[in-house]
Amino acid sequence: MQAFEVCVFGAGPAGLSVAARLLERGREVAVLDRPAKIRPWGGESLSGTIRGPLAALGAWDAFAAAGHVRGYERQVAWGGEPQCESSLVQPSGHMWHVDRARFDSDLRAAVRRRGGTFLSYRKLRAAARQSENWRLVLDGGTEITARYLVDATGRARALAKRLGARITLYDRLIGLTAKVTDNKSPFRVASLMIQSTPFGWWYAAPVPQGHVVALFTDADLRSLEARQHLRPVAANSVFTHTADDDNWVAVGDACASHDPLCGWGVHRALSNGIRAADAIDEYLREGNPGPLADYRQHCRKQFEEYLEGLKQHYALERRWANALFWARRIDDLGVRGEV
């Protein structure tokens, strides 16, 4: 039986940031990595603020040298005349359009350099709390003990669902996505583009191998034609409620999933992952649960503020106020259900 102080379920940005931070603190950490049914859709656009959490994890230099596309322009058609905005005037500097596979791979490498253990599995057969430890049984009979668990399984929320957490859904947004290979033209468009439509909004951005494009709409509004050409991925707003005394915590999308319009998903996955790791470390070292309670409260408040800001941003578009997609967000953004 293998013994660790912390087991992190999931090897995306949130889970890897938790692992890297805890390893820096001298903790014994295992990252339990299960193959995803749906891979990230290839691209991600990040603001210059991403430098903060990456620098805190010692991963900034590798990121800056990885060949991600630097973004200096954003073209927007939303709620009025089309606009072209330069990111050079932003305090945080230019945007980054990243290759998600390379981004995640570099974070994995950072965890390995710190001595983290990666364990692949396909099924969690048992998870039970025994005194001060969790006992985990994976497929193949592998048994693990850990003092603390972290759910970083993304929108799947595999651990949260297994442990009976309350999960609140706020909308039905999905992204119908595709990746377009670079045509090698010397006149390559390097702008991020966003355009609203009566049935949702479009997004397009460059990545190192070409462009990613996506139509964001509600699951019940997508057309049959769109289904045949674009891959659907969940993009709705969801929050996971966890108790203060359960010896496990959720991070990243497993904690709070965001509408891609806000552009905060990866940044918050990293920064909140660091915050959660620091709280776990203090709990293991001092037995003080206060920082973990503060972390959960921070996430709840952050998500409430996000919902209000999201509603305000959607309200800027009034050309199709009577269209179902927009009416749901302008006048009726609220709880849609629970899992």
Model confidence over 309-339: pLDDT tens digits? 999 999 999 898 889 999 988 876 555 556 5
> What's the CA gap between 5 and 133, in Å, rounded?
9
The domain spans of the chain are 2-338
How confident is the model over 73-130, as pLDDT tens digits?
A: 888 999 888 888 887 777 778 888 888 888 999 999 999 999 999 999 999 999 999 8
Residue with the bigger pLDDT between 87 and 34: it is 34
- Above pLDDT 90, what percent of the chain? 62
* Residue in 22, 90, 76 with CA at minimum distance from that of residue 276: 22
State yes or no: pLDDT of 220 exceeds 60.
yes
The per-residue pLDDT for 3 is: 93
Average pLDDT in the 223-234 region? Answer: 64
**According to the per-residue pLDDT averaged within each range, which of 43-47, 110-114, 183-187 is highest?**
110-114
Of 214 and 253, more confident:
253
Whether 155 shows a pLDDT value over 70: the answer reads yes
- Residue 131 in tokens: 């005194």
Give the span between the Cα atoms of 30 and 146, in whole angstroms. 9
| pLDDT value at residue 205 | 86
Do 47 and 263 form a contact (C-beta atoms < 8 A)?
Answer: yes
pTM for this predicted structure = 0.91
DSSP letter for 68, please.
Answer: P
- 296-301: Cβ within 8 A, 24+ apart: 296/242, 296/244, 296/249, 298/272, 299/255, 299/256, 299/272, 300/239, 300/241
Average pLDDT, whole number, for the chain? 88
The predicted model gives 170-174 an average pLDDT of 93
Residues 107 and 17 sit within 8 Å (Cβ to Cβ): yes
- Check if the beta carbon of residue 151 is closer than 8 Å to that of residue 136: no
pLDDT bin (cut points 50, 70, 90) of residue 62 is: very high
pLDDT at residue 231 above 80? Answer: no
> What pLDDT, on the 0 to 100 scale, is given for residue 38?
60
Q: What is the largest CA-CA distance in the chain?
A: 63
Lowest mean pLDDT among 56-60, 177-181, 185-189: 185-189
Per-residue pLDDT band at 37 (split at 50, 70, 90): low
Instruction: Indicate the range of 22-31, 237-246, 309-318, 324-333 predicted with least confidence.
Output: 324-333
What CA–CA distance (Å, rounded) separates 67 from 97?
10
- Nearest-CA neighbor of 97 among 45, 40, 42, 41? 45
Q: Point out the least confidently predicted range of 221-225, 250-254, 275-279.
A: 221-225
Q: What is the pLDDT of residue 79?
A: 86
Average pLDDT of span 30-42: 75
CATH of domain 2-338: 3.50.50.60
Above 60 in pLDDT, residue 146?
yes
Looking at residue 84, its amino acid is C
